[in-house]
Structure 1
Amino acid sequence: MHGLAHVRGSAFDLGGAAAPHGKTALADEAHWVTSCVRAVHVACALLVVVDARAANAWIDVAWERVRACRVVHHCMFEALLATCAFAGWIALYKLADRTPALRHLRFRSATEHVRQGVSYTNSWVMGAGYLALIYAFHQLRTKPPLDIAPPTARRLGVEVALGVVAYDACEFCAHVLMHRVRCLHRLHRTHHAQAALTAAETLHHDTADAVQQVVLNVLVQQLSPWGAKHSLSRMVHNVLVTYMLTEIHAGYDAPWCMHRVWPALFGGAARHEVHHRDGNVYYAEFFKGFDELLGSVKPRMASTGASLSGESAGGVRRAVGQRT
């Protein structure tokens, strides 16, 4: 009950009782940040629709500068970019873990025991293994040269969006099998060894589990309505997906998180927190729709109509608080 009382007083339990003095400002700030992030997303989309030439001109300049860098032409650049992006996103969230002012944004108590050493070691091992796997792949299949012409804003947006949806769909299917097929579940147990999520847990996998994720990402990077996916689209995909994976494992109910910014579309960290706690629900990492189709969602309480899963982030906090 102590944990329940603690989380109901948090800045993000907006559906509960009135927040005590000092928490209201945090809640207002959360709404402001969420609205700003959402506005940036909408503005970018409107720019492409209203003035595509301006968006295309910006992309032309950006792609020219990217192509001017010699390292970008190396066959391992995209893999190195993904690795560095993972390291950067994880480092940012680990810095947040060490920032007292941000502790109220976590789903779980900041004092909860976290085996960070195991995760850090595993992250380095998985990073090296990923690079070795991609290097071996390029020895078997020569990487084509970078595209010379820049993509249009429309092509860039469609290819990146298609890649993210395709990755989540493929990983959703693989994730369901990992939980429901006994021999595969053994491979996935490593990832669920620690219930209290931190950013480093993103890379805490059994080798076979990690390999299937890499293979799926390589496959979805080949998808494009234009035939071959543009080099810039692949780069943006790697940076974006590594962030999204880090966010859902970081354990934060932050105002910039996808489940806050677009709650009707993304389950994100709110649902993934429940998945790591319960194990048999919410297999999709990003989008809500896949779990809705499969029926792998938590039942709603008859008395209140609220989801036991924490369909809202506040519900996750209450469920975690009761558990603690």
Structure 2
Amino acid sequence: MAATTPTTTSVCRALWLAATLVAIVWHQWVDGCIQAIWDVLRASTVVRHDTFEPTVAVTAFLVSFTFWKALDCWLPAGLTKRWRIGESDDMSTWHLSKWWTRLLQEPVWYFAPIAIFDIMYPRRNLPEKAPSIEKLAIDILAPLFIYDFMFFFIHVTCHKVRFLYRNIHAKHHSEKIMRAGETIRLSFFEQWADVSCSIIAVNVARCHPLSRALYNGIIVYLLTELHSGYDMPWMLQNVVPFGLWAGSRRHYVHHRDGRFYYQKFFCYLDDFFGFGEDARASIRTGKEN
């Protein structure tokens, strides 16, 4: 596995803590900044259009994939190899050109149906008041939690029911090397289920439109990070204490051995249902077949 330094991780945690303290102590000033930003965004034709949220998601995918591609292919290997997980520094079986083509095609398949529907049925109504910093944080964490909860059970089912794994989910596990491009190596059902869980999550959480836009960008980045094959000190799996965040290390193990780690972001369901660290430890010591 990749190595992270305690000092770097501590610095990252300190920065997160400092940002949290600023938000708490100067919350009125922060809320005022958020309101000013929302006033500008709300006056924009692009933001007022129904397709703004999927546009944010598509743009986030393009930016995220370009970021990981830069680490994979454009920077000297010596700068990034120390953070690569397992065998993910061996790119001999990973076809970059194929996935870059797929990446350019993906927005068309994802965006076109939504754009057509939005043009036919405009329904976006933007409130004048922006969310407070507390509301913004809750509006991002709550749908992440709900999405992760729903997709866990779909994911487990796709692994445990052999017919579903063979015909739906096996495609996602077909490459040995983990790269961000694996995020979109999905069957149609998986794409539909993934997007549906996310849409349901933001609606159940009753998120503000600004929160929804930020959530779309954040979850896209987190999904690409999950499949990136990197373990960097500033990633949430290292910054969030007590092992509460899953992250790329656990997901790498999941892709290598599909018996463990079905949650994408959090860990509590894996641990509760016996797919977490205890299960791996018992298999390593020969207590299970």
User: TM > 0.5 between the two?
Assistant: yes
Pick one of 241, 246, 253 that aligns with 1:274.
253
Root-mean-square deviation (CA, aligned residues, Å) is: 2.3
- Is 1:39 matched with 2:26? no
- Is 1:125 matched with 2:105? yes
Pick one of 103, 116, 134 that aligns with 1:154.
134
Deviation of 1:70 after TM superposition, in Å, equals: 2.1
Contact 1:97–1:103 under 8 Å retained in 2: no
For 1:293, the aligned partner's letter is: F
* CA distance in structure 2 between the partners assigned to 1:65 and 1:85 by the alignment: 21
- Is 1:293 matched with 2:268? no
Pick one of 21, 34, 43 that aligns with 1:59.
34
Number of equivalenced pairs: 277
Give 1:228-247 correspondences, 5 Å limit.
228-247=206-225
- Provide the residue aligned with 2:204 in structure 1: 223
- Provide the residue aligned with 1:68 in structure 2: 43
TM-superposition CA deviations, 1:63-120 (whole Å, max 9, x none): 1222233211111111011011011011101101122211221112523421223322
Contact 2:49–2:124 under 8 Å retained in 1: no
- The alignment-based identity, stated in percent, is 29
- Provide the residue aligned with 1:196 in structure 2: 177
Contact 1:123–1:204 under 8 Å retained in 2: no
Contact 1:253–1:269 under 8 Å retained in 2: yes
Gaps of 5+ in 2: none
- Provide the residue aligned with 1:49 in structure 2: 24
TM-superposition CA deviations, 1:32-73 (whole Å, max 9, x none): 432233223222322333332122112112212222332111
TM-superposition CA deviations, 1:157-195 (whole Å, max 9, x none): 111110111111111111111111233222111111112
For 1:283, the aligned partner's letter is: Y
Pick one of 188, 196, 203 that aligns with 1:207.
188
- Provide the residue aligned with 1:253 in structure 2: 231
Over 3 Å counting, the alpha-carbon distance change for 1:173 and 1:139 in structure 2 is: farther
* CA distance in structure 2 between the partners assigned to 1:39 and 1:66 by the alignment: 31
Question: TM-score, with normalisation over the residues of structure 2?
Answer: 0.88
Deviation of 1:126 after TM superposition, in Å, equals: 3.0
Question: TM-score, with normalisation over the residues of structure 1?
Answer: 0.79
Contact 1:163–1:221 under 8 Å retained in 2: yes
* CA distance in structure 2 between the partners assigned to 1:124 and 1:51 by the alignment: 42
Give 1:82-101 correspondences, 5 Å limit.
82-98=57-73, 99=75, 100=77, 101=79
Matched position secondary structure for 1:53: helix
